[in-house]
Amino acid sequence: MKHVIWIFAGLIVTAIVAALVLRQATGHAHLRDVGIVTAITLLSSQVAMLPLLMARGKSAVTVFQSAFAGTVIHLFLMLAMGAVIHAMKWADRNIFLFLLLAFYWFSLVFVVISMSKIFRSYLHASPTSNDVPAGNS
């Protein structure tokens, strides 16, 4: 749960910084466009965490693959929702695509960091074996 809050907080800070940078660069903060992109990014990043939630108690390989699946879900949701907003002309097309790409990369960093922390904590919590894996002699 705390990882979801950190993702949310990171994206809100990103939105505030984006609005400030846009205001300085263009003279207009484009708050509607920033708000739409922030909503898309928040939704897709939260949905991306669902495979990890469903993989609780499974093997380490399943947790790792769930994290990878979450990043793919994040990408496709961002793409699909961004395409709908762009096609319906609900946002300024010029700045919207730039914001969508920037927010995707920032949110991907937040999501991957959260997923890696979950995976690492899962590995540390699982019982270790004294067997040496093949190839590590």
Per residue in 55-101, pLDDT (tens digit) is 888 888 898 999 999 999 999 999 999 999 999 999 888 899 999 99
Sequence spans of domains, the chain = 2-125
Per residue in 3-55, pLDDT (tens digit) is 889 999 999 999 999 999 999 999 998 999 999 999 999 999 999 999 999 98
The token pair that represents 43 in the structure block = 């939704």
CA distance 23 to 55: 42
Q: Are 123 and 61 in contact (CB under 8 A)?
A: no
What's the DSSP call for residue 58?
A: S
- Helices 31-48 + 60-87 axis angle, to 10: 150
What is the arithmetic mean of pLDDT over 105-114? Answer: 95
Our measurement of the distance from residue 96's CA atom to the centroid of its chain's CA atoms, rounded to an integer in Å, reads 18
CB atoms within 10 A of CB 81: 18
pTM for this predicted structure: 0.83
